[in-house]
């Protein structure tokens, strides 16, 4: 009843603007809202008083702060936010952001922040009234003052901007364009002793850092330095977790990666790993994972990675190496991924192979053969594959027994592991005739490759299997290898590979097929026929879109097929001469010359 009386009285005094009785009514409303916010808000909405509040929000009135406070309180309820917008309260509230009165600013910031919370209408109204820019300007002008009242105001303003832009890409972009990022970074630096304000800045950074457009702006501030400084002070898991949530998206940017490394983040991460490695408490396990994952992420940048490698003598590199023999799966995984990231240029790879890392990785894989951890298998194979890229490393890795270790995973049913296993073997046998021959005679391997060539659900595994089949022939040039592949039914896959959308794969297939035709045509003849090789070659030569090297190798292969009566008959029936003679005037010299040679060969045979 009291409340109803107050609302009636307020309607009259709001029009008369008699400040004393007005103030009494507003106090009564605030008290009612404290006791039962939902019910009081419903009555305020039903009374139609909201519309009158707009006229009370004037800089001159002594009641303004209380009116803004009431709006902030009622806007805690979702059902009141749109009515506040409809009552025309946003524009006068935004005007009050220019006030000099601390209490008015505080309550206005709260009111706008609450109206914007999860409300499209509230955000739109603040956007149209230009509220965001004024708040950012106020943050800039008030930034250097560290008295408690000012810090409370800054915290409210940061919260208002968060509610305004949360999960809304276009409003976040707007804030970024208004220069909110350097402002917040400065705030963090000046007020790092204030927990509430620091937390607000971190949440804001977390939201903004998800946007790609923010990364450049962040990179031009000293955010890395400020975050690392803050991180070093934290002891509580939750606080560190908050900083991690900002660091992870920021560290996707290469420039920021380097800044974080230079600011000393890596040392903090290594310390956490050392502290938490033997703990099985849930928080500690989570923190160990976050720290080691972030470490791996920092190594994805070329400059940051090279800085930490320090010619293979760096403390960080040595510490990461020590993770591989650890008993902790997360550290084994991070260690192997870190090695794979360090192994991104020949110099690093050569140094690492010479320093015995291959043996560590092989030992790690051996621990994961039976019911092993798939992510660790995948990471260790990735590292070996990268290390096998430089020519000088191949023979060393082969003699260390890498192929034998890798082949233990042939029985794996996990596509990511299969994919890396295939890539590692393909890298190892590149230009290594003896190793290629040895693997090519391994019937179990060849049969598994043929099976994986049909893995339609896993394009990567299918492509790598085809490429390894071709590589076994191209690098070994061995009749025994070709026979093993024919017997296992691999020919049809090589013929299909010649029609791949990737020129490099087409080429590899054609070169392997030409070797088959040159060395073991009799053995492969039937399979080449049933795979419709001749029709495919005709199509590749006739197609204007075929790359010059595809045309060239298709003609070399056509000439090699002349030795088979049945295949040569197909060549004649399809009138290859017509297609080939047109290629004599091809703009590519090699293609034109090969066309003349092929034409002569076909003419002689006919």
Three-state SS annotation for 157-217: HHHHHHHHHCCCHHHHHHHHHCCHHHHHHHHHHHCCCCHHHHHHHHHHHHHHHCCHHHHHH
332: closest CA among 300, 380, 394?
Answer: 380
User: Can you say whether the dihedral through the CA atoms of 271, 273, 278, 284 is positive or negative?
Assistant: positive
Give the pLDDT confidence score for residue 236 in this predicted structure: 84
Q: Are 495 and 509 in contact (CB under 8 A)?
A: yes
CA separation (Å) from 53 to 49, 68, 93, 96, 142?
A: 7, 9, 10, 13, 28
CA separation (Å) from 417 to 219, 325, 357, 373?
A: 36, 20, 20, 10
- What is the spatial distance between Cα 596 and Cα 592, in angstroms, rounded to a whole number? 6
- What is the spatial distance between Cα 291 and Cα 30, in angstroms, rounded to a whole number? 47
Mean of per-residue pLDDT scores for the chain: 92
H helices of 57-192, in order, are: 64-74, 78-86, 90-96, 102-116, 120-128, 131-142, 148-165, 169-177, 180-190
77 alpha carbon, distance to own chain's centre = 37
Burial class (CB in 10 A: 0-12, 13-18, 19+), 142: middle
CA separation (Å) from 584 to 538, 572, 573, 601?
A: 16, 19, 21, 14
486: closest CA among 447, 438, 536, 439?
Answer: 447
Provide block-wise average pLDDT over 10 residues at a time, the chain (606 residues).
75 66 87 93 90 88 93 96 96 96 96 96 96 96 93 96 92 94 94 92 90 90 94 87 92 93 93 91 92 93 91 88 92 94 95 94 93 91 96 96 96 94 96 95 95 90 96 96 96 95 95 96 94 95 93 95 91 88 93 94 79
136: closest CA among 103, 165, 168, 116?
Answer: 165
CA separation (Å) from 249 to 142, 244, 245, 256?
A: 29, 9, 7, 10
Q: Are 358 and 387 in contact (CB under 8 A)?
A: yes
3-state secondary structure of 73: helix
Share of the chain above pLDDT 90, in %: 81
- What is the spatial distance between Cα 109 and Cα 135, in angstroms, rounded to a whole number? 8
363 alpha carbon, distance to own chain's centre = 30
Q: Are 293 and 337 in contact (CB under 8 A)?
A: no
Give the pLDDT confidence score for residue 239 in this predicted structure: 87
Give the pLDDT confidence score for residue 322 in this predicted structure: 92
358: closest CA among 409, 394, 313, 312?
Answer: 394
Q: Are 253 and 219 in contact (CB under 8 A)?
A: yes
């Amino acid at each position: 009843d009291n409340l109803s009386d107050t609302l009636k009285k307020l309607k009259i005094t709001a029009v008369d603007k008699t400040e004393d009785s007005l103030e009494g009514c507003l106090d009564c409303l605030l008290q009612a809202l404290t006791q039962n916010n939902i019910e009081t808000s419903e009555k305020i909405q039903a009374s139609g008083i909201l519309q009158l509040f707009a006229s009370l929000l004037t800089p001159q009135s002594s009641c303004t702060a209380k009116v803004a406070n009431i709006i902030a309180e009622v806007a805690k309820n979702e059902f009141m936010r749109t009515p506040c917008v409809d009552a025309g309260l946003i524009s006068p509230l935004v005007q009050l952001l220019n006030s000099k009165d601390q209490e008015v600013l505080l309550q206005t910031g709260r009111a706008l922040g609450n109206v914007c919370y999860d409300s499209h209408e509230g955000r739109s109204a603040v956007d149209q009234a230009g509220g965001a820019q004024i708040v950012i300007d106020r943050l800039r002008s008030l930034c250097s003052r560290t008295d408690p009242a000012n810090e409370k105001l800054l915290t409210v303003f940061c919260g208002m901007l968060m509610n305004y832009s949360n999960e809304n890409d276009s409003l976040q972009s707007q804030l970024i364009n208004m220069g909110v990022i350097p402002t917040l970074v400065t705030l963090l630096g000046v007020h790092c002793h204030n927990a509430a304000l620091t937390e607000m800045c971190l949440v804001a950074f977390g939201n903004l850092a998800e946007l790609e457009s923010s990364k450049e702006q962040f990179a031009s501030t000293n955010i890395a330095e400020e975050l690392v400084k803050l991180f070093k002070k934290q002891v509580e898991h939750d606080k560190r977790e908050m900083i991690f949530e900002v660091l992870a998206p920021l560290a996707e940017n290469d420039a920021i990666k380097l800044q974080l490394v230079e600011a000393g983040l890596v040392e903090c991460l290594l310390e956490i790993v050392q502290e938490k490695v033997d703990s099985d408490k849930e928080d500690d396990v989570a923190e160990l994972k976050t720290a080691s994952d972030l470490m791996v992420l920092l190594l994805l940048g070329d400059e940051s990675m090279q800085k930490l490698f320090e010619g293979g003598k760096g403390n960080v590199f040595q510490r990461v190496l020590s993770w591989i023999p650890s008993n902790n799966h997360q550290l084994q995984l991070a260690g192997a991924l870190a090695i794979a990231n360090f192994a991104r240029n020949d110099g690093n790879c050569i140094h690492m192979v010479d320093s015995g890392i291959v043996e560590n990785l092989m030992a790690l894989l051996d621990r994961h053969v039976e019911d092993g951890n798939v992510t660790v298998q995948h990471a260790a194979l990735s590292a070996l594959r990268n290390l096998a890229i430089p020519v000088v490393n191949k023979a060393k890795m082969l003699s260390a027994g890498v192929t034998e270790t890798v082949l233990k995973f042939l029985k794996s049913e996990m596509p990511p592991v299969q994919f890396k296993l295939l890539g590692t073997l393909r890298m190892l046998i590149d230009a290594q005739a003896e190793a290629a021959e040895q693997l090519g005679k391994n019937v179990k391997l060849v049969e598994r490759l043929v099976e994986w060539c049909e893995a339609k659900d896993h394009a990567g595994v299918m492509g790598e299997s085809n490429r390894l089949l071709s590589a076994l022939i191209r690098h070994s040039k061995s009749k025994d290898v070709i026979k093993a592949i024919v017997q296992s039914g691999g020919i049809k896959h090589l013929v299909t590979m010649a029609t791949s959308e990737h020129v490099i794969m087409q080429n590899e297939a054609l070169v392997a097929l030409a070797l088959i035709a040159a060395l073991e045509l009799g053995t492969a003849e039937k399979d080449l026929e049933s795979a419709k090789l001749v029709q495919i070659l005709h199509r590749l030569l006739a197609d204007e879109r075929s790359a010059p090297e595809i045309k060239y190798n298709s003609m070399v292969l056509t000439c090699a097929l002349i030795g088979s009566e049945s295949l040569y008959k197909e060549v004649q029936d399809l009138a290859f001469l017509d297609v080939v003679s047109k290629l004599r005037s091809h703009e590519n010299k090699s293609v034109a010359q090969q066309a003349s040679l092929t034409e002569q060969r076909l003419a002689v045979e006919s």
